[in-house]
Amino acid sequence: MSFLNSVTRPFAVAAVLAGALFGQGITPEMLLKPPADSWPAYHGDYSGRRHSPLTQINATNVGGLSLAWAFQTGAATQIKASPLVVDGVIYFSVPDVVYAVDARSGRQIWKYQYPANKGFHIGSRGVSMYKDWLFFVSPDAHLVCLNSKDGTVRWNVAIADANRGYWSTLSPLIVGNHVLVGVSGDFDNLTGFLKSIDPETGKTQWRWDSTPPAGTPGATTGGMTWMTGTYDPEAKLLYWGTGNPTPVLNGPARPGDNLHTGSIVALDPETGKMKWAFQPSPHDTHDWDAVEIPVLVDADFKGKPRKMLMQASRNGYFFVLDRLTGENLLTSTFGPVNWSLGVDKKGQPIPNPKKEPAPDGRIIAPDEAGLTNYRSPSFDPKTGLFIVSTHPSYAIYFNKPADGAFGWAGADYSVWGTGVLQAIDYQTGKAGWTHDLGPTGAGAGVLTTEGGVIFTGDAQGNVLALRTSDGKTLWHAGAGATMQSQPVTFMLDGRQHVVTGIGGVLYSWALPEKQ
**Total interface residues for another protein by CB under 8 A:** 76
Q: Which of residues 406-435 bind another protein (CB under 8 A)?
A: 407-408, 411-417, 419
DSSP assignment of 2-36: HHHHS--SHHHHHHHHHHHTT---B-HHHHHS--T
Torsion of CA 386, 44, 102, 493, to 10 degrees: 80
First CA to last CA distance, the chain? 38
123 lies in the binding site for another protein (CB under 8 A): yes
Min CB(228)–another protein separation in Å: 12
Contacts of 405 (CB under 8 A, 6+ apart): 189, 247, 250, 253
Q: Which of residues 471-500 bind another protein (CB under 8 A)?
A: 473, 476, 478, 482, 484
- In the complex with another protein, which residue's Cβ is closer, 300 or 436? 436
Residue 453: closest CA among 63, 66, 58: 58
131 lies in the binding site for another protein (CB under 8 A): no
- In the complex with another protein, which residue's Cβ is closer, 238 or 369? 369
- Contact pattern for another protein over residues 30 through 69, marking x by CB under 8 A: ----------------------------------------
DSSP assignment of 454-477: EEEE-TTSEEEEEETTT--EEEEE
Residues belonging to the chain: 515
184 lies in the binding site for another protein (CB under 8 A): yes
Active site residues: 287
Interface pick for another protein out of 38, 52, 78, 500 (rule CB under 8 A): 78
Distances (CA, A) of 22 to 11, 13, 149, 248, 494: 18, 15, 13, 50, 17
Min CB(110)–another protein separation in Å: 23
Q: Which of residues 209-248 bind another protein (CB under 8 A)?
A: 222, 224, 226, 243-244, 248
Burial of 213 (0-12, 13-18, 19+ CB in 10 A): exposed
**Strands 97-102 and 304-312, sheet pairing:** unpaired
Min CB(475)–another protein separation in Å: 11
In terms of phi and psi (left: phi > 0; alpha: psi -120 to 50; beta: otherwise), the region of 368 is: alpha
β-strand partners of 320? 310, 330
Q: Which of residues 331-350 bind another protein (CB under 8 A)?
A: 336, 338
- In the complex with another protein, which residue's Cβ is closer, 321 or 444? 444
Min CB(514)–another protein separation in Å: 29
Interface pick for another protein out of 462, 485, 489, 500 (rule CB under 8 A): 462
362 lies in the binding site for another protein (CB under 8 A): yes
Count helices and strands in the chain by DSSP H and E runs: 3, 39
Min CB(327)–another protein separation in Å: 28
CA–CA separation, 474 vs 269, rounded Å?
A: 41
Distances (CA, A) of 182 to 3, 243, 303: 25, 11, 37
Interface pick for another protein out of 2, 396, 405, 432 (rule CB under 8 A): 396
Interface pick for another protein out of 361, 381, 384, 432 (rule CB under 8 A): 361
Min CB(465)–another protein separation in Å: 12
Q: Which of residues 270-329 bind another protein (CB under 8 A)?
A: 287, 289, 291
